[in-house]
Chain A
Amino acid sequence: MKKNLLNVRKLVKKYGEFRAVKGISFEVSEGEVFALVGPNGAGKSTTLKTLATILSMTSGKVLLDGFDLVKDEYEVRERISYLPEEAGAYKNLTGIDYLRFMADLALDDRKLIAEAVEFAVEITALGKRLEDKIKTYSKGMTRKLLLARTIMSRPKLAILDEPTSGLDVINAFEIRKIIRELVNEGISVILSSHNMLEVEFLCDRMAIINEGEIIVSGTAAALKKKYKSHNLEEVFVKAVKIKN
């Protein structure tokens, strides 16, 4: 049995009086790819931002690799890497300078920094284009660069918010391939997505979230069985309808 890497208990996030996340609980095991699936405004991004330590939780408890998200913020940040939805990179830096800068921030050891950059260069497969400024990159190239940045330091947990959002078929396919291979690098993944095919292809388990609450969670096969559906899209629609 795999060890739990992330343990989320009764996580609540309020913006003023508005409860964006209403006491959700879930776990992510080591080497697992876990998806949060839900409609717009369901609380997926807020949950991921909270796990990425950039939003503070209103109540609840989150442990990552034994470290408390609130008390051990810095230790948690050393173990995670976050890729926001539609994130950008510093346009005036070259691709390689960006990777070096981010590796310098993520790691302390010179040797590890050099290895991380080398690893990222390999993942991006951008070759000589890495010497060009990021402002000359296409959306797909930038996304690959950012994904490489996310995983180059080999974090314990990669938090990916809509990793293929807005990408064409080929770029989305390549990104999914990279994410699937992360598990081989010992990296666990939590991601959010609207794309049910993507979720089925990538994830070991998923949770359907709506209006800040997790409706149901499990493997794709288990959920399809539970909702007597042929695909995850049907599962999603049925689960959300039943809840409402």
Chain B
Amino acid sequence: MRKFFVLLKKEIKELLTPVMVVPFALMVGVFALMGQFVDLDEIVGEEAGETFKIVWINEDAGSLSKRLFLDLEKQGFEILEIKGELPADFFEVVKFARENEALAIVKVPPKFSTNLRLMKFPKVEIYNLVKDFSIISSINSGKVDVLKSVLGDVLSALLISERLSSLNPEFLKNPINAEDHVIIGNKHAKISFNEVMIFVQSQNTVVPILLILVIIIAAQMVAVAVASEKENKTFEILLSSPVNRKSIVFAKILAAALVAFLFSGFYMVGFNFYMSGFGMDFSAGAGQGALVDLGVVIQPFGYLLIAGSLFLATLCALAIAIILGILAEDVKGVQMVTTPLIILIIIPYMITLFVDVNSLSLWAKYLIYAIPFSHPFLALTDAMTGKENLIIYGLFYQGAVFLLLIVFASKIFTSDKVLTIKLKWGKK
């Protein structure tokens, strides 16, 4: 056992070199900085109470367009009206709008009010001023969509009040008080499905990235650790030392797992800084009663199961990676030999990201469950939907796969295949 810890200490020392640590530490700083630059609240200005600027061109002489203008102002829109003759070149208007940081130009055509009263679906032209294709631009574009719905809303209210002055337009537009309820399994809560989805997706965005990172970083590290032993010609000395070969395998696996968890922690801290710039605080809302009632807020036991699933998936990846590391001629070759493993890790991630595994055909479902790396991704949803039993079965399965893999890896290490596999590959 003493020699195992000697090996473990050396493996960790080899992995925690400045070349490895500094980029990760820098990443935290870079993400934090990016989070500061991309402070969405400030840019979008919603919470800061900033108004939504639009340029208004009214060619209608009727009353409805005038009332629409006033109502939009009441709704908080800052309207820059172009009065009098329109410039011959429409891009003069665009230039004016951009100079004033307006998000859209709204053009109300002649006879708008008349056509509206005649229910002829009059056209309103809305020009969306696109700066670029960043996330912020897409959010601004969403605000233009809000403008469209506000236009429709305001006009409906105006027409209703004209025609049915005795009735409350708000009531006519929305005569029922719909109360959203969501039922998941046998749990029920008074909340909209949309709110549940936003919360679940926030969890489903960050946690799988963490899972992928831990597994891939760990797998790469252990494969590199073995390949660099071969490349630096230190392997033969190690193998001829009076040390149990299984200790060498376990020390490499454990060191890579510990360092990968550490690096993933760094990454997630940085990522959290970055995402908080977008106003996405993933811990927020965890205490919301309705979400707790629905069981979508993962409880400590659920997290424990997910952690167990992640741990076993990482061990499986490490056991495969250590075998692949033996096949690599040198450190450069690691990338090539570990590619199939990385694909095997990414496939379940992609599948669980887009579809519900239960909706797949039976063979596809079994195939997904057969991949030990699928289980942490599935565990996440299972923990949210109260299917802890499935996670526990998964843990047993992953444990069995790991045992098989580690026996195989140890067998290679205790035989001369650890050296001759490369020889055979090189010769043929």
Residues of A in contact with B (beta carbons under 8 Å apart): 15-16, 49, 52-56, 74, 77-78, 80-84, 86-93, 97, 101-102, 104-106, 108, 146, 149, 159
Contact = CB atoms under 8 A, between A and B. Distances in A.
A90 B6 contact: no
Interface in B1-35: 2-3, 6-7, 10, 13-14, 17
Contact of A82 (B237, B243, B244, B423): B237
Contacts of B120: none
Given A52-B236, A54-B240, A84-B236, A105 B416 contact: no
B234 interface: yes
Contacts of B234: 87-90
B237 A84 contact: yes
A108 B427 CA distance: 40
Contacts of B233: 84, 86-88
A81 B240 CA distance: 7
Interface string B230-243: 00111011111111
Contact of B236 (A78, A87, A105): A87
In the A-B complex, the 9 residue pairs with the smallest Cβ-Cβ separation, listed nearest first, are A88-B232, A77-B242, A82-B240, A52-B240, A88-B233, A104-B6, A84-B236, A55-B416, A78-B242
A84 to B, nearest CB: 4
19 contacts: A15-B420, A49-B236, A53-B240, A54-B236, A56-B415, A56-B416, A77-B243, A82-B236, A83-B237, A84-B237, A87-B233, A88-B232, A92-B13, A92-B14, A93-B10, A104-B2, A104-B6, A105-B3, A105-B6
Nearest to B231: A88
A55 B241 contact: no
B189 interface: no
Which of A81, A86, A149 has the largest count of B CB atoms less than 10 A from its CB? A81
B415 A15 contact: no
B424 interface: yes
B2 A108 contact: yes
Interface in B409-423: 415-416, 419-420, 423
A160 B427 CA distance: 25
Which of A49, A53, A88 has the largest count of B CB atoms less than 10 A from its CB? A88
A15 B424 CA distance: 8
A93 B13 CA distance: 8
Contact of B242 (A16, A86, A106, A146): A106
Contacts of B240: 52-54, 77, 80-82, 159
B47 to A, nearest CB: 49
